[in-house]
Amino acid sequence: MEVLYFAWLRERIGVPRETVETSAATVADLVDELRARDDWHAAAFADLSAIRCAVDQRLVPLDTPLGPAAREVAFFPPMTGG
């Protein structure tokens, strides 16, 4: 599965994307796996209220099941208008 990071998440983790092998059932489970990787991932995912997510380019809540068909998960800060 491809995991993409945008804005300050990319800066904290140090890469714009990575390919991960996961058995995560939900996006939240994937976040837990990523947090356990290293201090950079843990810092990036410290405040989940400041993170939005998309699975296969569709905005979803963190409790969304990944399922076997999910190919891409993207994490980014909330967007503002103006």
Among 29, 30, 26, 43, smallest CA distance to 4 is for 30
What distance in Å separates the CA atoms of residue 38 and residue 58, rounded to the nearest whole number?
27
- Domains of the chain by residue range: 2-76
- The architecture that CATH gives domain 2-76 is Roll (3.10)
pTM for this model (two decimals): 0.92
DSSP labels, 8-40 = HHHHHHS-SEEE-----SBHHHHHHHHHTT-HH
What distance in Å separates the CA atoms of residue 33 and residue 52, rounded to the nearest whole number?
17
Instruction: Give the confidence band of 81 by pLDDT, cuts at 50, 70, 90.
Output: low
pLDDT one-digit tens code per residue, 23-67: 999 999 999 999 999 999 999 999 999 999 999 999 999 999 998
pLDDT value, residue 69: 87
